[in-house]
Structure 1
Amino acid sequence: MASQILLLTTLLAITCSLVVAFEPSPLQDFYVANATSLVLRVNGLPCLESKLATAEHFFFSGLHIPRNTSNPVGGKVTPVNVAQIPGLNTLGISLARIDYAPMGVIQPHTHPRATEILTVLKGKLSVGFVTSSPENKLISKVLKKGDVFVFPVGLDHHQQNLGSETAIALSSLSSQNPEVYIISN
């Protein structure tokens, strides 16, 4: 009797761990954000019926356009998220173009919901992040064109153009809404 209870308990534990580890598939392929829809809300956004989706819901043009960096920090971020591409809703990704004036910075900030992968397209950048307690260690590197650096989710990080010419980077984020909190100016 004791062995049967042990066997039943073991099977139940295995079954429960499989259920907890299971990640269900989405109910449909995509949920295009649509401010005028009253039918369905996913991720807090009203959604278009999928049969009404077009290529325009999954498209953005303009990342090739240089941005104005004549501001106090000398940096400009051009986001491409669900606000620009409604088809990104529920897909868990976004990106941004970052333009840097000579010696321009993207001041220390954090994304509480996303890991960021930064790819340098032009110029030379000093980048880094600070690890969590207890060490609070700075991990930094100088990047040049074609280099890639990862900023783990939620950690304070920064970027600075080290060159005398403009620099450009592409930032990919693991959330449709990574949020950004500026640590300091």
Structure 2
Amino acid sequence: MASSSNLFLLAALLALTSWQAIAYDPSPLQDFCVADMKSPVRVNGFPCKDPMAVTPDDFFNDARIIGQPRDTTKSKVGSNVTNVNVINFPGLNTLGISLARIDYGPLGVNTPHIHPRATELLTVLEGTLYLGFVTSNPNRLFSKVVKKGDVFVFPKAMIHFQMNLAHDKPAAALSSLSSQNPGVITIANAVFGSDPRISDDVLARAFQVEKKLIDWLQSQFWENNNY
């Protein structure tokens, strides 16, 4: 009897382990799969470039892409995001990782958003940031003030944000994301700037405000922060 119980428990644990294993992207089946951006084939990801045509440059990204501060003065929210993902770095294809540099002007904000396909690990390069994320129900906020050298993690698909607390100095951070193409949904853009627009009746009811306020919000230009 005890033996049967042990076997049942082992089978249950194996089933749970198998379920957890398929809950994330599968492991690559080869050493690399440099994306062939010219291929007409459309798959969940990108087709592989011929391995014999791959060069060291396919695994290299110029430091000027992410190593230099970006202009934040043209942004309504005072921030600028520079991505290094499979779109501009084909060697990342199937490797499950990407980077982003975020530059913040004085009091600049990387507005509330989510990455539907990635957990984000943020390292502060310069300045002092107020940041946080909100959990699913119940909507609990986890926030903290972080400084140069500090690291903070935003769990996958949680609404999160950052703000430069300095009135007179810029700030910068580097984010590592657990997807070659993490995606981004900026909350304000998605709710008030979708195309076509969400019905103002729906939004007025959802936010418990008058429709004229919703109409005004939808008439504004919503910032695309390139994240």
Bucket of the pairwise TM-score, normalised by the shorter protein: 0.7 to 0.9
In structure 1, what is the equivalent of residue 182 of structure 2?
A: 178
Q: Select the structure that is richer in helix.
A: 2
Structure 2 distance, partners of 1:156, 1:118, is: 14
Which string of whole-angstrom CA distances, capped at 9 and with x for unpartnered residues, describes residues 5-58 of structure 1?
A: x69x859947963993677753211111012246x7763312201222111111
- Equivalent residues, number: 178
Whether contact under 8 Å (1:42, 1:90) holds in the other structure is no
Structure 2: 5+ residue stretches without partners? 189-221, 223-227
Q: Select the structure that is richer in strand.
A: 1
Match of 2:141 among 126, 138, 142: 138
Structure 2 distance, partners of 1:66, 1:175, is: 24
Matched, 1:102 2:106: yes
In structure 2, what is the equivalent of residue 151 of structure 1?
A: 154
Whether contact under 8 Å (1:36, 1:46) holds in the other structure is no
Structure 1 distance, partners of 2:175, 2:77, is: 18
Whether contact under 8 Å (1:106, 1:158) holds in the other structure is yes
Matched, 1:89 2:90: no
- If asked which structure has higher relative contact order (CA below 8 Å, sep 6+), I would say 1
In structure 2, what is the equivalent of residue 31 of structure 1?
A: 33
Structure 2 distance, partners of 1:57, 1:165, is: 36
Query: Is the deviation greater in 41-50 or in 60-69?
Result: 41-50
- Deviation at residue 81 of structure 1 after TM alignment: 0.3
Which string of whole-angstrom CA distances, capped at 9 and with x for unpartnered residues, describes residues 126-168 of structure 1?
A: 000111102x111100010000000000110000000121101
Which string of whole-angstrom CA distances, capped at 9 and with x for unpartnered residues, describes residues 157-180 of structure 1?
A: 000000121101001100111110
RMSD between aligned residues:
2.6
Query: Is the deviation greater in 149-158 or in 28-37?
Result: 28-37
Structure 1: 5+ residue stretches without partners? none
Structure 2 distance, partners of 1:14, 1:115, is: 28
Which string of whole-angstrom CA distances, capped at 9 and with x for unpartnered residues, describes residues 96-148 of structure 1?
A: 011000000000000111100110000000000111102x1111000100000
Give the share of equivalent positions with the same residue, in percent: 57
In structure 1, what is the equivalent of residue 81 of structure 2?
A: 77
Structure 2 distance, partners of 1:137, 1:15, is: 31
In structure 1, what is the equivalent of residue 116 of structure 2?
A: 112
Distance 1:36 1:143, change over 3 A: same
In structure 1, what is the equivalent of residue 69 of structure 2?
A: 66
Which string of whole-angstrom CA distances, capped at 9 and with x for unpartnered residues, describes residues 79-107 of structure 1?
A: 00001210100000001011000000000
